[in-house]
Structure 1
Amino acid sequence: METITVSRKETVEVSGQGATKQSAFSDAISKVQKKIMAGSEDVFLQITPLNIEILSAIKETYTEKFLFFFLPRKKVRYAVKVLIHVEITAVSMAKVTFVDIQKDTTKLEKKLKVMDYKGI
């Protein structure tokens, strides 16, 4: 019997931003699964991060004012771009063979199903 699970290693580049350092990193990490799943028809069982490399980490500070003059306050915004090395365990859909079964139902059978569903 052939195994249908496969393991492979990939590298994903993601970026995130937020009001705190933690929120910027969590925003970036939350995008990993979506980026890996894009363009793949496999079913992912596990995505394990192996290593994280920081490509850029930026802290932006600016002054926000109401009506351009009033109530100035300092605001901080963090942005990170990271390279995440992951190990993926997935079910390979290319290795799964589906059996095609054709079923023909008559009009009477369809009508009986509809009547049964409606409770008539």
Structure 2
Amino acid sequence: MKVVTRRQIRVSGKGSSRQHAFAAALGQVQATLLREGEQVLLRVEPLEVDVVEARERVWTERFLFLFLPREKREYSVTLDITVSMTSLDTSAVTFSRT
């Protein structure tokens, strides 16, 4: 009934800082695992995190195309994460009809 499996998933995230980009990517781990399986997750533990791609985009933003130039930054990361997940296999549970 309780199953421990190991999986590797790829997630990506964007943000205005490096921390926001990593947090956005790591926040997608549980949603990705739930979308791909029919199991109830009890615990998800990241074992390994590999950075596949990390980008920084810089551009100059101006008010009315002329005034107050400022530099804007956007960070994006793509991660390969190996997770150990403990789940409850719902297909092994028999339900009785009433």
Once the two structures are superposed, the pairs formed by residues 47-86 of structure 1 within 5 Å of their partners are: 47-86=44-83
Determine the structure 2 residue equivalent to 1:106: none
Residue in structure 2 matching 1:19, options 16, 20, 42: 16
Determine the structure 2 residue equivalent to 1:7: 4
Structure 2, unaligned runs of 5 or more: none
The whole-number CA distance in structure 1 between the counterparts of 2:5 and 2:85 is 5
The reply to whether residue 42 of structure 1 matches residue 39 of structure 2 is: yes
1:63 alignment partner AA? T
Determine the structure 2 residue equivalent to 1:105: none
After superposition, what is the alpha-carbon deviation per residue over 1:85-111, rounded to whole angstroms, capped at 9, x for unaligned?
00010000011011111xxxxxxxxxx
Structure 1, unaligned runs of 5 or more: 102-120
In terms of fraction of residues, the more strand-rich structure is 2
The whole-number CA distance in structure 2 between the counterparts of 1:26 and 1:39 is 21
Residue in structure 2 matching 1:32, options 26, 29, 32: 29
Aligned-residue offset at 1:51:
0.1
Aligned-residue offset at 1:40:
2.1
Q: Larger C-alpha radius of gyration, 1 or 2? A: 1
Aligned-residue offset at 1:11:
0.6
Alignment coverage as a number of residue pairs: 98
In terms of fraction of residues, the more helix-rich structure is 1
3-state SS in 2 of match to 1:26? helix
Q: Which runs of 4+ in 1 moved over 4 A?
A: none
**How does the TM-score come out when normalised to structure 1?**
0.79
2:41 alignment partner AA? F
Aligned-residue offset at 1:9:
0.5
